[in-house]
A and B are shown apart, each in its own frame.
Chain A
Amino acid sequence: MLATVSSATLLGVDGQPVTVEVHVSSGLPGFTVVGLPDAPCRESRDRVRAALLSSGLSWPQKRVTVNLAPSGVRKGGPGLDLPIAIGVLVATEVFPPEWCFGVGFIGELGLDGSIRRVPGIVPMVDAIGEPTVVVPGGCEREATLVGRHEVRGASTVVELLECLRGEAAWPDPAPPAPVPATGVHERLDLCDVRGQAVARLALEVSAAGGHHLLFCGPPGSGKTMLARRLPGLLPKLTGPAALEATRVRSAAGLVLPGDGLVIDPPFRAPHHGASPVSVIGGGSAHMRPGEVSLASGGVLFLDELAEFPNAVLDALRTPIEEGVVRVCRAKGSVAYPARFLLVGATNPCPCGEWPTMACRCSDVARSRYVRKLSGPLIDRFDLRVLVRRPDVSALLTGRPAEPTAAVAARVLTARTRAAERGVMCNAELPADRLDELAPLADDGVHLLEHRLRAGMLSARGLHRVRRVARTLADLADGPDTLGEEHVGLALALRADPAHEEVAA
């Protein structure tokens, strides 16, 4: 007999509906899964059989064929265990097909008959068209985020069958995991940063205009401390952005915040020793979004930028330009969202002390280090600022600085102005609309003319300077026309810490 059960699989961060067809026929006993299953999915056979036996059910001494439709889509992960098990039970007439009409099933099975959580509950549930979904116990809140389904949770096969038969009530959803409702960066306040006026301004401009930011300074100058305070300046995620961040987190199998939806802009800081796959995404056995996608909607912080392998730095180009990262695999490619604010940090030289007397690097070592930072990579950073170790006097006597909340309010205002121009932030202003949206006053033109004529600014650089100047003016609630203060400051926030050797 043939049974049909609804489920879903994960493709990138999106769910794909899957129909599990189970056919049981007489013949040599066997169990085959067809329809592009990946390795964990093929291993379903063993888990499903063991789980049913552990649950006191019998396994048919017949030929069992499982087809996963549509057949062209590669099915990943162990989340299809549960629908396969249900299909086998229906096909062997252990229970009637009506019980799973209008119900979708997602879950991995343990050998003991338990139903385990799988990554990507949010997008997978979203892909299920049935009015009811059954998910592993503890995943009910995630499943409810989609908002279209009657959500049921079950922790074991035995419990599930009792509820389906109507012998027991569906269990109450598990209480939310004890994760703080607000992200950790809520507690990292800008008021802890004394001095560093330029670096603080750069953070504000970066948050307001979506400009990528590079900090250059010696060890101990607070580059990481500064970067960690950037997510707190960004507006909370809402609507599709929040759902997207939630799907990515869910697809990566990470714990979701208490109320399910990710609303705090994420902060991801992969180490330079991390594998390219973990940063960019992909993987052969197990497709997974990388750090660039987990940072989507928030901040991707690359400390010790020059130490990252070239493969990783090169792979950042597409996400920076297009906001997505494509991971190729045998059959087609998967696109993950990757709309992050890039914050880089680097030492000025291998030892970090250049240009002071304490630097002990040879010219050759320094050149090599600097060369890695030069060129196309550094051009991505609209904002490039030097940070120094703060003066002791500033640490002890400096006035408490402006808190995050005050800065975040200005950022929100500036983002609102950008939205009125039809973009999310000023970094996205199209070059051909700059004359209209970022017009220059005469004194601003004068400053730019000098730089252009001296060959210190390219046409592309000019666009970037105008966008940053636009953000500076928006933050200061300034005029529509950009004057020399905005242009001068935008130029000053573009230091070139990776200056190549001086030609005579």
Chain B
Amino acid sequence: MSAEALANEAYAVALAELPGMGPARLRAVLDRWPPAEAWSVVWSGRAMAVGAVADACRPDPAALAVTWRTAAGRVDVADVWQRYRDAGVGVAVLGGDGYPDALASDAEAPAVVCWLGDPAVVQGPRVGIVGSRRCTRYGRDIAFELGHDLASAGVRVVSGLALGIDGAAHSGALSAPGGAPPVAVVGSGLDVVYPRRHVDLWRRVADAGVVFSESPMGAAPEGWRFPLRNRLIAALADVLVVVESRHQGGSRHTVDAAIERDRVVLAVPGPVRSPLSTYPNELLHQGVGPARDVVDVLVALGLAGRLPMPAPVDAGEPEHEPEPDVDGPADPVEVAVLDAVGWEPATLDDVAERAGRSLGAVAAALARLEAAGRVAERDGRWERVAGRSGAIRRRTAPA
């Protein structure tokens, strides 16, 4: 195949795969030359003659020029391109055909974006849901429900496919029958599934919606890629919801990026003693609006008219517990125990003491309530499951 017949995208990904080529350098190179020309400039070692490119390649542009020239000399662009086609990975270059509008307008738009699935699905209202990888049962349930309810209301859920909150939000979105397609942005290359545990979720999101990455294929999930990934989540989200995060958590990057882009940020209130609610509670204190349920988010989107009729969550899903019925338990011990559990994780000692019953009676009641999906145990502590209290059904959107 002659070089002239290859698409711009082929040269773009070949450039992206060069060693030492990050998103900023790639953008600097492609801002200066169209991809095919950029490739021949890099290939002949002349790229650093341009000040903006050399600036992006500090501290040692000369050495990098040699690295690139050497690496490019060994690459057959046609082979590279064939790998993307074989893997079904779509590619678009900033300013070129197929580049998602939602990203094109961003000040830090990636020079090249890759995807699995259908990039057209991003058209429509989008809400980012972010939070800790390690989360509480409460956070996971809220993320799942927001994901489900938003997708039911036709809102695309944007998240990062990480463990914890990210995964719960997308699992929720996928559980909504006929729900809006999910949108994911990942840090690694699209053939490097990370975390491995989410290989199935990753595939389901790609099948039903789209998974974006600005990293070329084969890129490892290196730490520096994730803050960059977070800016894309912020760029894609019309509203960003922080479910649970510690003070220094990665969600902070996403929130900062969202604020820079004038996006609306909402935070899910949590117990003041839970370390994982530190950051959302701090955001609330700073004046960010609360996301108590899907209504708050739809109002922030300006879509209050699309009030959800939350369909019962599909019972076949492994990710969530059976939905408790709205009526309370009938057994008096269970009532006392449920009261004693509260919304903050409590040990068996605490529950028995508050309920004033024997350990055996309390343990049996807890096990029954757990089977009924009303409480859950984690790390030896019991919490109530954030079931739908009926609040959604009772609340009506403000006019």
Contacts and interface: CB of A to CB of B under 8 A. Distances in A.
Interface of A: 195-198, 201, 216, 348, 354-357, 359, 363, 366-367, 384-386, 388, 443, 446-447, 450-451, 472, 476, 483-489, 491-492, 495-497, 499, 501-504
Contacts of A356: 273, 275
Interface string B130-152: 00111101001000000000000
A386 B346 CA distance: 11
B352 interface: yes
Contact of B163 (A359, A486, A504): A504
A11 B186 CA distance: 63
Contact of B275 (A197, A357, A476): A357
Contacts of A491: 363, 367
Contacts of B164: 501-502, 504
Contacts of B198: 503-504
B272 to A, nearest CB: 9
24 contacts: A198-B347, A216-B380, A354-B379, A367-B134, A385-B380, A386-B379, A447-B364, A447-B367, A472-B360, A476-B360, A487-B364, A488-B364, A488-B365, A489-B360, A489-B363, A491-B363, A492-B348, A492-B363, A495-B380, A497-B380, A501-B133, A501-B134, A504-B170, A504-B198
A196 B353 CA distance: 11
A446 B349 CA distance: 24
B377 to A, nearest CB: 7
- If over half of B's interface residues share one DSSP class (helix, strand or loop), that class is named, otherwise mixed; here it is helix
A485 B360 contact: yes
A363 B133 contact: yes
A503 B202 CA distance: 13
Given A472-B360, A487-B367, A495 B140 contact: no
Interface residues on B, range: 35 or more
Contacts of A359: 275
A388 B367 contact: no
Interface of B: 132-135, 137, 140, 163-164, 166-168, 170-171, 197-198, 201, 273-275, 278, 319, 345, 347-349, 352-353, 358-361, 363-368, 370-371, 377-381
A18 B358 CA distance: 61
Contacts of B171: 504
Given A197-B352, A502-B163, A504-B171, A386 B347 contact: yes
B140 A496 contact: no
Tell me which of A388, A497, A502 has the highest count of chain B C-beta atoms within 10 A of its own C-beta.
A502
Nearest to A478: B360
Most buried by B among A357, A367, A504: A504
Contacts of A348: 379
Q: Which among B132, B319, B353, B370 has the greatest number of chain A C-beta atoms within 10 A? A: B370
Contacts of A198: 347-349, 352, 359
Nearest to A473: B360
Given A385-B380, A502-B163, A504-B164, A492 B275 contact: no
A190 to B, nearest CB: 16
A196 B349 contact: yes
Contact of B364 (A196, A363, A385, A484): A484
Nearest to B276: A355
